Structure formats: C-alpha cells, structure tokens
Amino acid sequence: MIRSLHAGSNQTGGFSLNVFSDDALEDIHLATLEVLQKTGVFVDDDEAMEVCAGAGAIVDAKKKIVKIPPLVVEEAIQSTPSQFVACGRTPKNDVVLGRNRVTFTNFGEGIKINDPYTGEHRETVKADVVNAARLVDYLDNLDTYERIMVSHDVPQETVSLHNAEASLTNTSKHHWLGPVNGYCSRKIVEMLTAIVGSKEKLKERPLLTLVTCPGSPLTFSKEHCEIIMEGARSGLAVNIVSMTMAGGSAPVTLAGTLVVLNAEVLGSLVLNQLVRKGAPLIYGSSTCPIDLWRTTATVGSPECGMITAGVAQLARKYALPCFAAGG
C-alpha cells in the first residue's frame, strides 16, 4: 500500500491531544479499508458510479453499492494535496490550510436569532446573513467565514445562492458554503467567476470552499456526489464533513465511530480524486455522540472533543488539511 510522502510520518507541532497510538490509528485505517472494500458505500448517482467503476471499483448498479479496492483508496490519498491556500477577496486574508496549521472560523447554520434590536426570537432572514458576514469580516480572531445563518425569506430551492451572494459581497475572507446540489454549485462558480474575472483566475485564487456532508452511515446522496465532482472540475476545494453520530449512525465506541467517519470521508475523497487528481480536499468532521435519552446531538460534550482529537490524528496520518468542530 502506498501513501503520500509525508503521510504516516510522526512530526511534532506544538501541543496536541493524542487519543490513539500509532498502532491504533493503523488499525482504524485498515478497518476502514476493509469496510470500503467489503461493505462498500451507497452511491445514489449514476455518473459517480461510472467514475468509480472506471477506476476498478466493484459497482452493483441495481443496489447502488460501490466497493472500493484498498489500492484505489491509497492512491487517492497520495494524490490529494497536503495543503492549499484558501484565498480571500484581498490577499491579506489568504490562509494556508494544512497539517500543523491552526486557524479558526465560525460555524453554522443557525435557524433562529434573538433580534439584537427588538429582542424577538425569530427565524433568520437574508439580512441577518449580511450582518453576520460583516461582523465576521471585522473580527481578527476569525480567519475564514462560514455562513452562520440560513435565509428563510427566500425560495429554499436556491437558498444557497442567496446565502452566497449575501456573504461574498459582505466579507473579504475566504468563504465556506454548502451549495445543496450540483446546480447551485455551478451557479456559485459563475458568481465567483464574475468576481475574479475568469475561470482561470478562479483556479488561481479560489475564494470559496464547497462543503458537503455524506449521509451516515456510508451513504452518498446524488447531491453529495454532484458537489464533490463540481468542486474537482472547477478548481474549488471540497470540505467533506462527516456528521455520523456515535451510538446512532455509528458504533458507540470511539474507534468504531472513527472507522465509519473515516470510510465516509475517504470514500468521498476517492470520487474527488478520480474526477481530478490533485484536487484540494479537506478532511472534515462535525461528529459527536447521540444522547440516547433525548435523541439529540451532544455537541460540546467531552466525548465530542475526544472524537475531534481522533479526527485530527487521522487527518495528520494522511497528511490532509483538517476541519473539525470545536464543541
């Protein structure tokens, strides 16, 4: 099995919380390869299945199950860049994302707000997205911007386009955005192209990273696949954020949860790299345990922090940029 030159090397880079030994991380990696090869992932997109089949994956088109050989996974990890520049509207806001580089962003998306002027607890609207983007643009401790809220006062079929317009015109920082589907992804690329001047310039200075989440466990929706492939073709980085829930859509154990999470991220990475080798991709996670009593996500729990630490270790093992919830 082959991996990128730096993947697997043990480097120091300041304070860290290592919840797994190197041997345990390798066990998680090998278990992930076994899941991808023997269980596979559900892929609800014909083009994505064709792309994977062309690289040697075993595809059951009727059941929409794609089983990925270990060598294909390893080669995809090897071809993914270990870092890239997340560009802002102005170069002073450019941020290098890579191993041992820590940056901060806000998170989303909020669906309600306490109106700062009236005190009313209400649904968020597009004007709130505008104001939030301006606020984050002003805060020096936030390096990049992710749309904080959702616009409820616009057609929901194109809500990501409204969120993009509200954000891109009100912050000069690099932007993270979930575009919902392939159509909206392409429209956002058109918006970005209009800002920078051409598709070639957009590839030189990508102002935005596409964000998409696989369904857990091991489910790639049509929309998820479209966003991954559009990002690779347009030159935009893609942030694969697994939101599997320990004890719900994944095993309750820390290692078991990370195997499912890892399979979802690496399976997505394979599709991304098969579309365009060398496309930038981020190993993302907003995974946490489920509260079995209330059936809610325990974001901010100690276990969430432990999962995030494990995610960071896996991303470092693969020499990939990492995006993880702080809790």
Domain boundaries, the chain: 22-103+174-324
pLDDT (average), residues 198-224: 96
For the segment 124-139, the average pLDDT, to the nearest whole number, is 96
pLDDT, position 13: 54
Using N-to-C axis directions, what is the helix angle for 182-196 and 159-168, rounded to 10°?
Answer: 20
User: Residues 220-263: pLDDT tens digits?
Assistant: 999 999 999 999 999 999 999 999 999 999 999 999 999 999 99
Percentage of residues in the chain having pLDDT higher than 70: 95
Q: What's the average model confidence in pLDDT over 154-177?
A: 95
Q: Which amino acid is at 63?
A: K
What stretch of H or E contains 93?
none
Confidence of residue 191 (pLDDT cuts 50, 70, 90): very high
pLDDT digits (tens, 9 = 90+) for 29-47: 999 999 999 999 999 999 9
Residue 82: pLDDT band (50, 70, 90) is: very high
- Residue 274 parent element (H or E): helix 254-275
Place of tokens 């997340």: 86
CATH level 3 topology of 22-103+174-324: TIM Barrel (3.20.20)
Q: Is 319 left (phi over 0), alpha (psi -120 to 50) or beta?
A: left
* pLDDT score, position 279: 98
Q: How high is the pLDDT of residue 4?
A: 43
**Tally of CA atoms within 13 A in the half-sphere of 219 that contains its CB:** 9
Closest to 188 in 3D by CA, of 215, 173, 166: 166
Over range 256-284, report the average pLDDT.
98
Which positions ≥6 away from 92 have C-beta within 8 Å? Answer: none
For residue 327, the model assigns a pLDDT of 54
Whole-prediction pTM value?
A: 0.92
Residue 258 · residue 266 · CB < 8 Å: no
**Which pLDDT does position 187 carry in this prediction?**
97
> Phi-psi category of 275—alpha, beta or left, where left has phi over 0 and alpha has psi -120 to 50?
alpha
